[in-house]
Chains A and B, each alone.
Chain A
Amino acid sequence: MSRRRPWWLPGFVTRHVLFAMVFAGLCGIGVMVFLIEFDHYTSTEAFCTSCHSMELAAVPYRKSSHFVSASGVRASCGDCHVSPGIFAATWDHFIGGKDVIRQLIGADYDDPVVNALHLPEAAFSAREWFRARDSATCRRCHEQDAIVGERAGTQAIHQEDAKGKTCVDCHINLVHRKVPERATFKRDAWNRMVETEFDLEAGAADRLLDE
């Protein structure tokens, strides 16, 4: 028994080709679902803090207004540190893989001292990342035109003076341990602070950084 080929189907679409197309389509859907689910899972606090070094970054985060808010809105790691859009997000996760590699073969970031010593560079590159994207992840939740604020001038500042600026030009040190901007960062003062905080002898921080 033979079936009539529909008139609109091109001649090269044979039964096998049809099966292949359906299969490819399903695979495509599967890949997209995988990427979305992968992004969702790898953007969670639980996933990020499965590396101990990230747990150190999460401690101050859990005291911040991005974690604790009266309304219950909570930003997860990925909400801020992974770009919106599944392709950009996938790319960020791919690039973020270098953190995993460093975690495995780099300095001992699980050590709170080493972690604190390297934190400023991490903060500087995170700020550059935000700037390069015009603080896209901030704008997921914060609509600049809708910022009213509690004080009289806040709205006008965001309407008039913040034009041409991006969120992190003014708003830094909101979530993680405070670090100065790169231009005015004093490595020596930072190292002395870490030594005092962890009760190390003078110069220990510099030696640890050299290792």
Chain B
Amino acid sequence: MPSSKMGLFALLCLLVSGAGAAKVTLSPDNWGNPAGEECVSCHSKSSAGLTEQWRHSAHAKVGVNCLDCHQASTDDADAITHEGQTIATIVSPKDCGRCHAVEEQQQRGSVHAEAVAVIARRMPAMVTNLAGPAVEAAGCAQCHGSTVRVQANGELDPDTWPNSGIGRINPDRSRGSCSSCHGRHAFSKAQARKPEACVRCHSGPDSPDKEVFEASKHGMAFASHHDQMNLDAESWVAGKDYFAAPTCATCHMGAAGKLPATHDVGMRNVWNLNTPVSERQHLVVFADGGKREFPESMDAPKRGSKVPRLDGAEGDVKMVATPDRRRQAMSLVCRECHGKDFVEAFMRQFDGVVDLYNRKFGEPARAIMQALYSTGRLTPTPFDEPIEFAFWELWHDEGARARHGAAMMSPNHVWWEGMYVVARNFYGRFLPEVRAVAGDGADALIAKHVQDLPENEWLKHPERGSPLLGVGTARSAHE
């Protein structure tokens, strides 16, 4: 077997869980706690809505009741005494993992489970400085997750709870929140398979995946054929159990052909698209199932070596999925509906937009910002100068929009909502700000990082003009 196939095979084996959702391996003797049936009588009256959701759920059908998930032991940090039972309000991935072991293992270390850690360095400067703790609780933490604190009186700290952020750090130290996508208390498969499950966080200026998907051919197909998606099926393999359209879950998590389903949502992603400059990423899998991405420019860590995790602790490298392997995995999904050449050409178009963004905007802007800080033209205080907002929006909002647009085929988001706005910011706002703060050094800085790029050759030909703007002879728009 050629080595590339071996690698892909290893990746598949690692993440294998059979087609569709993994079977629960725990014996049914372990659930259906009789004491849990008493909860239902009172909660049918005190919180009828959630009890009805549960009553219609797959859990209720197989006899999983309130206590099966909520029972705690007295020494759990968040245990409370409730009607004579020791329970916890939060059902963490560790709790769900008692039955859903495969899914829990897969989501561990995923970009979802690590959603707090990935912005740990970004957050303080943004939300703490620009807004405050109230916005952190009701904004950032609702998607990324809070670090849930238990008060000494047994209650969950209201600054950190309620929260169903996907990377929530739970009182039992586990990370994640299954109910982020599988809304409590119905925990519907169908819900998690629909794009709507992702919209709460993957929408808006910085990650407009809802908007991008809706504006793509994939979104068009889903909107037209959402009733043919077989969303409630036990097995949900693309091309076999459904074929009308893909959803977010199809490409990022779903089973397709021989490719197994995974709850590591970022596993098939090659690029980091929400950074000042995108880079292709290795996915390092640790012996205990944890994961971390490393940029391709670094040598891939060797199997058996030790490398730091995102939180700084050392991890034993069990396996490395290179960017090419990850791309192969994603392409297997595409191939259920598209030919090989088609898929490769699409990926080329996508990568082309990311490369262009990097070369023309991301890298120059980052280099200029670093120069302005190192020469003392800017204070190190984040967001106290207008150019810092221009740079932030360039990559975090506008640049991310263009790159996500290319990743998921929304022409509008690639250009008018994306790279056009990047360019407008870069030439119309960022560079004038550079001139304003860099003083004498501005010309040299801009010449080095901007004018000398082949992509900016047009800046050296003012004589060319444009009739669009009134230079030269105005001609018919269709000419």
Contacts and interface: CB of A to CB of B under 8 A. Distances in A.
Contact of B74 (A152, A157, A173, A183): A183
Interface stretch (A36-44, A69-77, A83-91, A187-195): A187-195
Nearest to B78: A184
Given A180-B153, A190-B152, A192-B152, A161 B81 contact: no
B154 interface: yes
A181 interface: yes
Interface in B232-252: none
A143 interface: no
B84 interface: yes
B86 A183 contact: yes
A173 B41 CA distance: 24
Contact of A184 (B41, B44, B45, B74): B74
B308 to A, nearest CB: 29
Interface in B263-292: none
Contacts of A173: 153
A170 B83 contact: yes
A179 B80 contact: no
B45 A152 contact: yes
B42 interface: yes
Given A169-B83, A184-B79, A189 B45 contact: no
B403 to A, nearest CB: 44
A183 to B, nearest CB: 5
A44 B153 CA distance: 28
B45 A180 contact: no
A161 B153 contact: no
A153 B45 contact: yes
Contacts of A186: 77, 152
Contacts of B86: 183-184
A63 interface: no
A173 B155 CA distance: 11
A199 interface: no
Contacts of A165: 83
Interface string B34-60: 000000011011101000000000000
Taking residues whose C-beta sits less than 8 angstroms from the other chain, chain B's interface range is: 20 to 34
A160 interface: yes
B152 A157 contact: no
Interface string B65-93: 00000000010010111011010000000
A177 B83 CA distance: 20
B154 A184 contact: yes
A30 to B, nearest CB: 47
A136 to B, nearest CB: 20
A178 B154 CA distance: 8
B163 to A, nearest CB: 20
B151 interface: yes
A18 interface: no
A180 B44 contact: no
Contacts of B101: none
Contacts of A183: 74, 81, 86
A182 B79 CA distance: 11
B16 interface: no
Interface in B121-168: 150-155
B104 to A, nearest CB: 25
A202 interface: no
Name the prevailing secondary structure of the A interface residues. Answer: helix
A154 to B, nearest CB: 8
A160 B41 contact: yes
A156 interface: yes
Given A156-B45, A186-B77, A178 B83 contact: no
Given A153-B44, A156-B45, A180 B83 contact: no
Contact of A161 (B42, B48, B151, B154): B42
A169 B84 CA distance: 8
Taking residues whose C-beta sits less than 8 angstroms from the other chain, chain A's interface range is: 20 to 34
A158 to B, nearest CB: 10
A193 B157 CA distance: 12
Nearest to B72: A184
B80 A181 contact: yes
B46 A157 contact: yes
Contacts of A193: 151-153
A130 B42 CA distance: 23
A189 B150 CA distance: 9
A179 B153 contact: yes
Contacts of A169: 83-84
A157 B42 contact: yes
A161 B41 contact: yes
Given A169-B83, A183-B81, A157 B45 contact: yes
Contacts of A192: 152
Contact of B81 (A177, A181, A190): A181
B147 to A, nearest CB: 16
Contacts of B150: 189
A53 B83 CA distance: 31
Interface in B334-384: none
Contacts of A160: 41
Interface string B195-226: 00000000000000000000000000000000
A79 B152 CA distance: 29
Contacts of B84: 169
A79 B144 CA distance: 49
A184 B80 contact: yes
A73 to B, nearest CB: 25
Given A152-B48, A194-B152, 4 more contacts: A173-B153, A178-B153, A184-B74, A189-B77
Interface of A: 151-154, 156-157, 160-161, 165, 169-170, 173, 177-186, 189-190, 192-194
21 contacts: A152-B45, A152-B48, A153-B45, A153-B48, A154-B45, A154-B46, A157-B45, A160-B41, A178-B153, A178-B155, A180-B80, A180-B81, A180-B153, A181-B80, A181-B81, A183-B81, A184-B74, A186-B77, A186-B152, A189-B77, A194-B152
The 9 A-B residue pairs with the shortest CB-CB distance, nearest first, are A153-B45, A180-B154, A181-B81, A193-B152, A178-B153, A161-B42, A189-B152, A190-B152, A184-B79
